[in-house]
Structure 1
Amino acid sequence: MTRFLLWLIGGVVLGGIIHIMVILTLPLLDDDTVWTRIAALDADNKMVVLPELAPGEPNPLGLDPVLIYGVCRLDLAQGPGYLSGVLPDAPWSVAIFNAAGVIIYSTTNRDGIGQTLDLGIFNAAQTRLLAQQQLDVAEGVLVVESASNQLFTLVRLIPPHQAMRTRFANKLAESRCGNRG
Structure 2
Amino acid sequence: MRSLFYAVGVGLLGALVLHITVILATPVYTGADIYARVLDLGADGEFRPLPDKPVDGGLAVSGPFLKEAVCAFSVDDGPVNLTAEGSVPFWSAAIYDSRSNEIFSMSDRTAVRGTLDIIAGTEAQITALKNSGVNATENHILVTLPADDAYVVLRAVMPETSMAASTQAFLDSASCDGL
Give distance in 2, aligned partners of 1:135 and 1:149. 24
Give distance in 2, aligned partners of 1:17 and 1:171. 46
Establish whether residue 28 from structure 1 lines up as the match of residue 28 from structure 2.
Answer: yes
- Pick one of 59, 62, 70 that aligns with 1:61: 59
TM-score, length-scaled by structure 1:
0.80
Aligned amino acid, residue 31 of structure 1? G
Deviations 1:80-130 (A, max 9, x none): 111113221421111111122222111111125343211000112223323
Structure 1 gap ranges (5+)? none
Instruction: Mark the CA change 1:18 to 1:178 in structure 2 (over 3 Å): closer, same or farther.
Output: same
Aligned amino acid, residue 148 of structure 1? A
TM-score, length-scaled by structure 2:
0.80
Residues 1-181 of structure 1: pairs in structure 2 closer than 5 A: 4=4, 7-8=7-8, 10-12=10-12, 14-51=14-51, 53=52, 57-58=53-54, 60-63=58-61, 64-131=63-130, 133-134=131-132, 136=134, 137-180=136-179
- CA contact 2:86–2:166 (8 Å) conserved in 1: no
Give distance in 1, aligned partners of 2:73 and 2:105. 16
SS of the residue aligned with 1:110? coil
The alignment yields a C-alpha RMSD, in angstroms, of 2.6
SS of the residue aligned with 1:77? coil
Give distance in 2, aligned partners of 1:44 and 1:168. 23
Which segment drifts farther, 39-48 or 12-21? Answer: 12-21
Aligned amino acid, residue 103 of structure 1? E
TM-superposed CA distance for 1:149, in Å, is: 1.4
Structure 2 gap ranges (5+)? none
Give distance in 1, aligned partners of 2:41 and 2:116. 22
Instruction: Mark the CA change 1:2 to 1:50 in structure 2 (over 3 Å): closer, same or farther.
Output: closer
Give distance in 2, aligned partners of 1:96 and 1:22. 27
- CA contact 2:50–2:59 (8 Å) conserved in 1: no
Percent identity of paired positions between Structure 1 and Structure 2: 25
